[in-house]
């Protein structure tokens, strides 16, 4: 899988840009704040319908303009080639097109292009709040599971409705019996999310542990685990998880009414990360935390390749300068000759040994020129 052409209109600091990347290694070279990361952000937007840099779509629209558009032609080996488009507007909802046909559901574009992005913020996923790890789960599982996208969207809507009803219960506007139908729906969609997260993390844990071991010369052991915010027990299927979920909701109903919010469910899940059985968030050094982030990202490549039947596009956003030679070599070893890869950098010296095996784009003030 690789991006054949990419076009940007009024995106970040680009009025108009059109490039044809190499299907191997590409380097975008330039000083900071010239627009290198914006190119990778646009590719990730085509893959996930979201930015890895901001939660506000309007931030991606060029200053002084009312709309923005990202367009890409993607070549795929396991499926037919596809043309993707995401349009952003300051006055209208985001829209997507697949093969030039507009789709009413934004999520339809997810999974058409698989992408794994590395950025300096990845270390925050290791040492930061659970919400960052849940976002990681949601973005990555969505790329390989349309069912997950559906369940996640439905779950969020039911969760919002249930939380509103909890406030009405506290004010004695409705009866407790009215909650049962919403509990059943929340458990239905929540059990689907939990089951797919458990499967994803199971695969990720095995691959990431192997990669991390290689990064540390087999001196350290990484363990990745799933920490659901409920007790699904040893359930092997979604029906059993849903049954346990309803019991959890029932047992916590009084607490939920008191707090006016749902205190149990996958919206409060977390991932556990440990090195040599010690919490990575609390005890790992910054170097260890960075290695964990790299191992998780490289494991994503394995997972997407296994799920989609072809390698994803890899986006390395200003991370090479932060890596020592060993980690840099490992990242390139995994991606070279396997994935179309994009690297943003201020100097080709950060890439090193592969200078003669890549296509170079110079980036300056919103202008990109191929060497």
CATH code (residue 34) = 3.40.50.300
Q: Terminus-to-terminus CA distance in the chain, angstroms?
A: 24
Confidence of residue 352 (pLDDT cuts 50, 70, 90): low
Confidence of residue 337 (pLDDT cuts 50, 70, 90): confident
Which strands, in side-by-side order, build the sheet including 313-317?
115-119, 313-317, 341-345, 25-29, 358-364, 367-370
- Selected residue with higher pLDDT from 70 and 254: 70
User: Which of 81-85, 123-127, 158-162, 170-174 has the weakest average pLDDT?
Assistant: 170-174
Domain total in the chain = 2
Separation CA 272–CA 130 (nearest Å): 10
- Cβ–Cβ < 8 Å for 290, 283: no
**pLDDT of 82-107, one tens digit each?**
999 999 999 999 999 999 999 999 98
Q: Check residue 354 and give its pLDDT.
A: 62
Same domain membership, residue 105 and residue 18:
yes
Question: Does residue 223 carry a pLDDT above 70?
Answer: yes
CATH code, 235? 1.20.1050.90
**In a 10 Å sphere around its CB, with 0-12 CB exposed, 13-18 middle and 19+ buried, how is residue 87 labelled?**
middle
Question: Does residue 312 carry a pLDDT above 70?
Answer: yes
- Cβ–Cβ < 8 Å for 310, 143: no
Same domain membership, residue 275 and residue 191:
yes
Query: Could you tell me the residue range of the domain that residue 185 belongs to?
Result: 123-307
Confidence of residue 171 (pLDDT cuts 50, 70, 90): confident
Separation CA 11–CA 73 (nearest Å): 17
Domain boundary among 307, 324, 345: 307
Domain boundary among 307, 342, 360: 307
Domain boundary among 267, 292, 307: 307
In sequence order, the 6+-apart residues with CB closer than 8 A to the CB of 117 are 40, 44, 52, 297, 314, 315, 316, 317
Same domain membership, residue 86 and residue 23:
yes
Same domain membership, residue 244 and residue 355:
no
In sequence order, the 6+-apart residues with CB closer than 8 A to the CB of 350 are 320, 321, 328
């Amino acid at each position: 899988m690789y991006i054949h052409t990419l076009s940007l209109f009024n995106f970040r600091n680009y009025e108009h840009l059109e490039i044809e990347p190499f299907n191997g290694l590409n380097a975008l070279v330039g000083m900071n704040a010239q627009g290198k990361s914006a190119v990778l952000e646009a590719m990730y937007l085509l893959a996930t319908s979201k930015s890895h840099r901001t939660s506000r779509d309007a931030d991606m629209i060029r200053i002084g303009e009312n709309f923005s558009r990202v367009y890409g032609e993607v070549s795929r080996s396991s499926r037919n080639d596809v043309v993707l488009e995401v349009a952003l507007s300051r006055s209208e909802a985001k829209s997507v097109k697949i093969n030039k046909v507009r789709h009413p559901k934004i999520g339809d574009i997810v999974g058409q292009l698989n992408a794994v992005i590395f950025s300096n913020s990845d270390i925050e996923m290791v040492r930061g709040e659970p919400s960052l790890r849940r976002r990681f789960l949601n973005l990555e599982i969505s790329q390989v599971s349309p069912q997950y996208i559906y369940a996640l969207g439905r779950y969020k809507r039911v969760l919002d409705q249930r939380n509103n009803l909890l406030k009405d219960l506290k004010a004695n506007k409705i009866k407790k019996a009215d909650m049962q139908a919403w509990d059943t729906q929340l458990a239905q969609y929540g059990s689907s999310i939990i089951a797919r997260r458990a499967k994803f993390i199971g695969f990720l844990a095995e691959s990431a542990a192997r990669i991390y071991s290689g990064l540390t010369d087999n001196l350290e052991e990484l363990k990745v685990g799933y920490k659901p915010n409920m007790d699904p027990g040893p359930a092997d299927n979604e029906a059993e998880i849903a049954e346990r979920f309803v019991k959890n909701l029932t047992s916590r109903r009084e607490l939920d009414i008191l707090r006016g919010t749902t205190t149990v469910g996958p919206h409060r899940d977390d991932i556990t990360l440990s090195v040599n059985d010690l919490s990575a968030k609390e005890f790992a050094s910054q170097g260890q935390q960075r290695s964990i982030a790299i191992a998780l990202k490289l494991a994503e490549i394995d997972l997407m390749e296994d799920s989609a039947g072809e390698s994803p596009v890899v986006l390395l956003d200003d991370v090479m300068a932060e890596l020592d030679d060993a980690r840099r070599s490992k990242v390139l070893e995994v991606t070279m000759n396997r994935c179309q890869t994009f690297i943003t950098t201020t100097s080709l010296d950060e890439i090193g040994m592969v200078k003669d095996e890549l296509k170079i784009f110079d980036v300056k003030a919103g202008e990109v020129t191929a060497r």
